[in-house]
Amino acid sequence: MDTNFEKKNTVDEIMVDQEIQTKSIDLSSTRELIPDYADEFNPDGLFIALPEDKKNYRSVKGNIPFASFLILIVEFAERGSYYGVQGILTNFIMRPLPDGSSTGSTHTENTSAGALDQGLQIANAFVMLLQFLAYVTPLVGGWLADAKLGKFKAIMIGVWVGLISHILFVIAGLPPVLKHGKSALAPTVLGIISLAIGTGFIKPNLLPLLLDQYPYRANVLKKLPSGETVYVDRDASMENVTMIFYWAINIGAFMQLATSYAARNVGYWLAFLAPGLMYLMVCLVML
C-alpha cells in the first residue's frame, strides 16, 4: 500500500513538472518577450501576460523595490512632521503664555499650553490658511513636476522649503522670542506659508514617484526558483504599495499627539523641534 502511494505521488509530481515546462515552452509563440526584465531564473527576459493567463497560472504580487521603502519612510516623516505642527498651531496662536511660563508649557490641570495670545478668530484664520494652501499648492506643484521640473526635482524643492519652515517654527517657539510676544508671529506666519509650499511640491509627486519604482510595465509571467511559472499581477502589486503608502500617512499623523504633550509639559520649543527632527529623515533619505 505505502509503495503504491509513493509511486502515485511521484507520478503526480512528474506530471506537474511536465505541465509547468510545457507552459514555459509555449510562451514564446504567443507573447511579447521583454529582455530588460531578465534575471537569474529568466535569462531571456519575461513574457507579457495575456488576460487568460490569470486563470492558468498562480497569481502573485511583485516584490517591492528597496527604493520604494525609502520613499515610504519619506512620506511617513513628512506627514508626521506636518501633522505634528498643525496639531499645536491653534493653541500656540490663540492662548497666552501660562502664568510663570516662558516656554508655553503648563503644569496645572485646568490650563492649556499657549504662547501668542491672538485669540480664537486669528488662530483659526491661520490654521485654515495652512489647510487651504496645503490643498491648493499641490495643483501647482503637480503641474510644475509634469510640465517643467520632473517629479524628483519638484520633490527636492519641496523638501528644502519644508526644512526652512520647520526652522522658522522652532525659532518662533524659542523662549527668548516668546518673551517678546508678537515678535514670534512673523516666523510663525512665514513658517505656515513655507510649510504649505513645501507640501505642495511633495504631496502630489511622491506617490507617482513611488509607483514608478515598480519594475514591470505590464502583467508578466515569471519563472520562480522552484521552476513554477507565475502570473505577476501589476494592479494587485500597485494596490499593495499604495495601501502601505496611506498607512505611512496615518501612522505619521499620530505625531500630533506627541507634540501636544511636548507643548504642555515642556514647551513649544520642543513641540516644534520634534517635527523638525523627524523631517530631517526626509532630507537624509532624499539626499
Same domain as 52, residue 104 = no
Kindly calculate the radius of gyration of the chain based on its CA atoms and give it in whole angstroms: 27
225 in any annotated domain: no
Q: Check which CATH number belongs to the domain holding 98 and give it.
A: 1.20.1250.20
Q: In this structure, what DSSP letter does residue 65 have?
A: P
Comparing 19 with 231, which gets the higher pLDDT?
Answer: 231
Rounded CA gap, 113 and 189, in Å? 19
The pLDDT score that the predictor gives to residue 7 is 44
Cell 503641474 locates to 143
Tell me: do 55 and 74 sit in the same domain: no
Q: Are residues 28 and 75 in the same domain?
A: no
Task: Determine how many CB atoms are found less than 10 A away from the CB of residue 128.
Answer: 10
77 and 133: one domain? Answer: yes
Chosen domain end from 61, 81, 109 = 61
- 280 and 142 assigned to the same domain: yes
Asked if residue 199 is part of any domain, the answer here is yes
- Evaluate if residue 29 carries a pLDDT over 70: no
In a domain, 227, yes or no: no
Give the domain-ending residue among 17, 39, 61.
Answer: 61
232: left (phi over 0), alpha (psi -120 to 50) or beta: beta
What value does the mean pLDDT take over residues 61-87?
94
- Same domain for 49 and 87: no
Q: Which residues lie closer than 8 Å to 147 by C-beta, 6 or more apart? A: none
Both 265 and 241 in one domain: the answer is yes
At position 70, the amino acid (one-letter code) is L
Q: Across residues 38-56, what is the average pLDDT?
A: 91
Q: Is residue 274 part of a domain?
A: yes
Q: Which of 38, 61, 84 is the last residue of a domain?
A: 61
Average pLDDT over residues 180-199: 93
Could you give the CA distance from residue 281 to residue 225 in angstroms, rounded to a whole number?
36
Place of cell 506627541: 258
Query: How many CA atoms lie within 13 Å of 210's alpha carbon, on the beta-carbon side?
Result: 26
Residues 70 and 170 in one domain: yes
Strand order in the sheet with 46-48: 33-34, 46-48, 220-223, 229-233, 59-61
Is pLDDT above 70 for 27?
no
For residue 236, give the amino acid letter. A
The domain of 103 spans 66-215+234-286
Determine the average pLDDT of the residues in 154-171: 97
Helix crossing, 268-286 with 151-172: angle to 10°? Answer: 160
3-state secondary structure of 24: helix
- Asked if pLDDT for residue 146 goes beyond 50, the answer is yes
Q: Are residues 99 and 206 in the same domain?
A: yes
Tens of pLDDT, residue by residue over 221-264, are 999 999 999 999 999 999 999 999 999 999 999 999 999 999 99
Place 120 in a pLDDT band, splitting at 50, 70 and 90.
very high
Question: Is residue 26 very low, low, confident or very high in pLDDT (cuts 50, 70, 90)?
Answer: low
Nearest alpha carbon to residue 140 among 122, 157, 119: 157
Both 152 and 27 in one domain: the answer is no
How many domains does one find in the chain?
2
The answer to whether the beta carbons of residues 113 and 106 sit under 8 Å apart is yes
Q: 35 and 80, same structural domain?
A: no
pLDDT band at 100 (very low <50, low <70, confident <90, very high): confident
Provide the pLDDT for residue 21: 44
For all residues of the chain together, what is the average pLDDT?
Answer: 89
Q: What is the pLDDT of residue 240?
A: 94
User: Is the domain of 27 the same as that of 134?
Assistant: no
